[in-house]
Amino acid sequence: MTEPEGPVPFQTFILKVANRCNIDCDYCFVFNSKDQAARRLPARMDLAVAQAAARRIGEHASAHRLRTIHVVLHGGEPLLVGVGHMAGLLQVVGDSVPTGTRVLFELQTNGTLLSDTWLDLFERYEVAVGVSLDGPPHANDRHRLTHAGRSSAASAVRGIELLRSRPHLFAGLLAVVDLANDPVEVHDYLAVFEPPVIDFGLPHATHDDPPHRSDPTVPEYGLWMSRVYDAWLARPEYGHTVRMLEDIVALSSGVRSSVETLGLAPPTSVVIESDGSIEAVDTLRSVEEGATWLGLDVLRHSFDEALSHPKLLHRQHGREALAEQCRACPLVDVCGGGYLPHRFSEAQGYRNPSVYCADLEYLIRHVQSSVRQHGWDPYAQSSS
């Protein structure tokens, strides 16, 4: 796989339109992690800030002749901004994108506030909606409780069912892995909602704050995801993809990953906070206070200035930015050293293998050997 010559432009712009949430997930990287900036930021993004962001997005799209860009409406819980305000945000962004650039709107929600009024708005602006749900109620209740400590599962499921009535708006489901949950039960439960995509995320962790394991000598997260893979493969009638698994298959054949968690392709997303600050990947909030802070904002700075900021520039260096162990690893083209926050330690910064190294190795080998058994040799096409 060849590495890029210059900075690859941003193509995904994550607008933090709301900085509050109506539920209180204990693993939330916005409100319950080391960086507490979200609590000091405006509760919602003003239209003036959205307008400035939209002008910068338009400028970036023109300068780099981008045919398609993604604008992700994120939070906190983005639906807390209200329908009228969201309509204004969508309108100003849509108006600022140059002719010839297609804007794909996406929104990630906990689903609990979805209504027909919201879906009418999303219909009008063609917004694809993803919902977070960790599995059946007893699994979801391990982490995704309300501020009063009550289950949010029933209202999230009600929202998903409403979304299913307009399947063209349904982008997929996002679940965070918890080893205490049964992987097959979680996968099969989520599959019943017929999402186009199920996205599994590994819990945020660093070398200084490692993930929970009952036996550190066993790649428990790799085994968990391998069981999801087997459950997914066992039912050819399933119409959904599982993003992490499909990315492993794609990367094993030399195709670029669609996400930032695997592979060596430079990430192409950037975050715009509710006050207009331009920030590095927001999940880095789990790493340390100020980890995402660049000192740039859409009122005074362009996205090209953000591209060359030292905190983002290392993302362009692919293999060269990785720990020695990763550079020498036969799986590096697929794994890419894992997701950036999972590599962090106070002592070494990001030059570590992922805290999920053994899990990723187990899972990648499991997927590749299964694919080989089905008559295709990923190693024959991979550059590793």
Q: Strand 68-74 to strand 102-109: parallel, antiparallel, or no bridges (unpaired)?
A: parallel
The long-range contacts involving 291-297, CB below 8 angstroms and separated by at least 24 positions, are 291/34, 291/35, 292/35, 292/37, 293/37
Strands (E), 184-244: 197-201, 241-242
Smallest distance, ligand SF4 to C-beta of residue 219, A: 10
**Complex with ligand SF4: residue 313 or 358, whichever CB lies closer:** 358
Question: Which one, 186 or 262, has the nearer CB to ligand SF4?
Answer: 262
Shortest approach of ligand SF4 to residue 376 CB, angstroms?
21
d(C-alpha 177, C-alpha 171), whole Å: 19
* Burial degree of 78 (CB within 10 A; 0-12, 13-18, 19+): buried
With CA atoms as reference, report the closest residue to 86 among 73, 72, 69.
Answer: 73
Which tokens sit at 158? 């009600």
Sign of CA dihedral 357, 363, 367, 368: positive
d(CA 368, CA 374): 10
Task: Compare residues 57 and 335 and give the one whose CB is closer to ligand SF4.
Answer: 335
Mutual angle of helices 243-252 and 220-234, in 10-degree steps: 90
Q: Closest approach of Cβ 329 to ligand SF4, in Å?
A: 3
Residue 323 Cβ, how far from ligand SF4 at the closest point, in Å? 7
CB closer to ligand SF4 out of 231 and 357: 357
Q: Which is closer to ligand SF4, CB of 170 or CB of 362? A: 362
Integer CA distances (angstroms), 176 to 70, 186, 224, 235, in order: 23, 10, 12, 22
Q: Which residues contact 245 (CB under 8 A, 6 or more apart)?
A: 225, 228, 229, 232, 367
- Shortest reach from residue 333's CB to ligand SF4, in Å: 9
How is the chain split among helix, strand and coil, in percent rounded to 5? Answer: 40, 15, 45
Residue 130 or 338: the one with the smaller Cβ distance to ligand SF4 is: 338
**In this complex, which beta carbon is closest to ligand SF4, that of residue 270 or of residue 340?**
340
Q: Which is nearer to ligand SF4, 52 or 334 (CB)?
A: 334
Q: Which residue has the tokens 């805290």?
A: 355
d(CA 299, CA 329): 43
- Taking the complex as a whole, the smallest distance from the CB of residue 49 to ligand SF4 amounts, in Å, to 38
Query: Of 199 and 361, which CB lies nearer to ligand SF4 in the complex structure?
Result: 361
Binding site for ligand SF4 (CB under 6 A): 325-326, 329, 331-332, 335, 337-338, 353-354, 357, 360-361
CA distance 187 to 170: 17
Minimum distance from CB of 280 to ligand SF4 (Å)?
20
Q: Min. distance of Cβ 366 from ligand SF4 in angstroms?
A: 13
All residues at 6 or more sequence positions from 137 whose CB lies less than 8 Å from its CB, including other chains: 151, 153, 154
- Smallest gap, in angstroms, from Cβ of residue 258 to ligand SF4? 18
